[in-house]
Chains A and B, each alone.
Chain A
Amino acid sequence: MRIALTVNGESLEAEVWEGESLLYALREHMGLPGSKNACEQGECGSCSVLLDGVLVCACLVLAVQADGHEIVTVEGLGSDDALHPVQEAFAMTGAVQCGFCTPGLIVATVDLLARVPDPTDDQIREALSGNLCRCTGYAKIFDAVRMAAGS
């Protein structure tokens, strides 16, 4: 089935299998592998994207449901020349170890700071509770969010 959607500001069309997730469509049909594929059940948050401005797990959205809608992935946040302030903060604070959870955490942090520009630690913890880091990097991730909030 053919779907047409806006991804990172660009109108795209893709031929998708009816049962596939938005995550699969982004990664395999639209050349956007930034959103990571791990648990495929909404537990890990590594596929977090914005759907019409709302933070969601792309693995739990049917690709066809995104037809006619607007998606922002981690690729749409900054460029190679100018990182997004949240990306910059994650790099500066060393909030990255293996890097697999990083795209999801960055999208979730961008979503948090758009709603709550100066979050408390509890608000950060709550906002990132759906994003798992298995390298135990949470302390640095907190540093990164605080730095991005201050920038």
Chain B
Amino acid sequence: MEVLTPQTLDEALAMKAERRDAVPIQGGTDVMVELNFDRARPETILNLNEVAELRGWGRDNGTLRLGTGLTYAEAMGNGLASLLPALAEASRTVGSPQIRNRGTLGGNLGTASPAGDALPPLLVYEAEVVVASADRGVRVVPVARFLTGPKQNALLPDELIIAVRLEPRDMRQTFMKVGPRNAMVIAVVSLCLAIDREADEIRVSYGSAGPRPGLVTVALDHAWELTELVARDASPIDDVRGTAAYRVHALKVLVGRALQRCLT
């Protein structure tokens, strides 16, 4: 096993181009579990912790750019929480303080778990994933197309996720998550809802109730249809965390509560 630690983004992309099987590691909250439990023995690990370009967030003419290394703790911080309240709410439900200090947005997209807590807010925001490679430069993929299946995404072997881009809008929004306790919980189901008055629509995204997080959009004056639409769109399975029937039931309850929270 070899660990490569690039100091700049260019260096990181060059390394990834040369070692396409290299596993990127940022906060390590997913990758380290695989290593510790002997489930993965990658030949090369690409440690992105020292690449300053991947950290933090900023504005570029109204567009918000969230670095792939943005931690959940940072997403909960004062500056971002007021711009992206549902992402901040979702981030607060991730793991524990220790996990939120290390786990990153890029990791959530890279792992592409159907239960990834940051994913429903990003879908509701209609965010885009910025990926890059040494050979072809930057490519932008909407989150909805980036997430292709359970733990599968549209990243090519020589690419790295470098940022998430989105246009923050003034929307009532919320995130909810069902689990046995408030901390250290992988979502049994999760739900993010936003009222986009500018587009005259309501967007709902749900997690842990299908092979990938789903997105349902409905016109604002059709809010009454939403509960059934979400229930029909979801395709949950029975697993250790809950049954499919419970997940559908819980999703319906959450849609009702989220609508109440955001419409009143």
Chain A positions near chain B (C-beta within 8 angstroms): 1, 17-19, 21, 40-43, 45, 48, 54-57, 59-62, 64-65, 67, 108, 111, 126-127, 129-131
**What residues of chain A lie closer than 8 Å to B2, measured between beta carbons?**
18
CB contact between A43 and one of B25, B31, B97, B184 (< 8 Å): that residue: B184
Q: Are A55 and B101 in contact (CB under 8 A)?
A: yes
A103 to B33, CA, bound (A): 21
Mark B51-94 against chain A: 1 for CB-CB distance below 8 A, else 0.
00000000000000000000000000000000000000000000
User: Could you say which residues of chain B place their CB within 8 Å of the CB of A62?
Assistant: 3, 25, 28, 31-32, 35, 45, 47
**Complex Cα distance A62/B1, Å?**
13
- Is B252's CB within 8 Å of the partner chain A? no
Contact size class for B?
A: 20 to 34
Contacts of A64 in B (CB 8 A): 3, 5, 45, 47
B172 at the interface (CB under 8 A from A): no
Q: Is B49 an interface residue (CB 8 A)?
A: yes
Q: Sample 9 A-B pairs with CB under 8 A, ordered by A number.
A: A19-B41, A55-B97, A65-B28, A65-B49, A67-B5, A108-B97, A126-B183, A130-B99, A130-B184
Assembly CA distance A126 to B182 (angstroms): 9
**Interface residue from B3, B37, B95, B98 paired with A40 (Cβ < 8 Å):** B37
- Taking a contact as CB atoms under 8 Å apart, the answer to whether B99 and A42 are in contact is yes
Cα distance, A64 to B2, chains bound together (Å) = 10
Contacts of A60 in B (CB 8 A): 27-29, 32-33, 98-99, 102
A67: B residues at CB distance < 8 A: 5
Across-interface contacts of B49 in A (CB, < 8 A): 65
State in angstroms the CA–CA spacing of A129 and B37 once bound together: 23
Q: Which residues of A contact B260 (CB under 8 A)?
A: none
| Residue B36 at the chain A interface, CB threshold 8 Å | yes
Answer whether residue B8 sits at the interface, using C-beta atoms and an 8 A cutoff: no
When A19-B1, A21-B32, A60-B27 are in contact, do A45 and B102 touch as well, CB less than 8 Å? Answer: no
CA gap between A104 and B49 in the complex, in Å: 24
**What is the chain A residue whose CB lies nearest that of B182?**
A129
Residues of chain A within 8 A of B25, CB atoms compared: 62, 65
A112 to chain B, nearest CB (A): 8
Contact B35 A21 (CB under 8 A): yes
Contact B3 A130 (CB under 8 A): no
B45 touches A18 (CB 8 A): yes
For the complex, is B243 an interface residue (Cβ under 8 Å from A)?
no
Determine if B36 and A54 form an interchain contact, defined as CB atoms under 8 angstroms apart.
no
List residues of chain A with CB within 8 A of the CB of B28.
Answer: 60-62, 65
Whether the Cβ atoms of B3 and A18 lie closer than 8 Å is yes
Q: Give the contacts of B16-37 with A (CB-CB under 8 A).
A: 25, 27-29, 31-33, 35-37
- Note all chain A residues with C-beta closer than 8 A to B102: 56-57, 60-61
* CB neighbours of A131 from chain B (8 A): 96
Of B33, B96, B182, which is in contact with the most chain A CB atoms at under 10 Å from its CB?
Answer: B96
The 5 closest A-B pairs by CB, nearest first: A130-B96, A129-B183, A40-B36, A18-B1, A60-B32
Whether the Cβ atoms of A130 and B97 lie closer than 8 Å is yes
Report A-chain residues with C-beta under 8 Å of the C-beta of B36.
21, 40-41, 59
Nearest residue in B to A112 (C-beta to C-beta)?
A: B97
Least CB separation from B44: chain A residue: A18
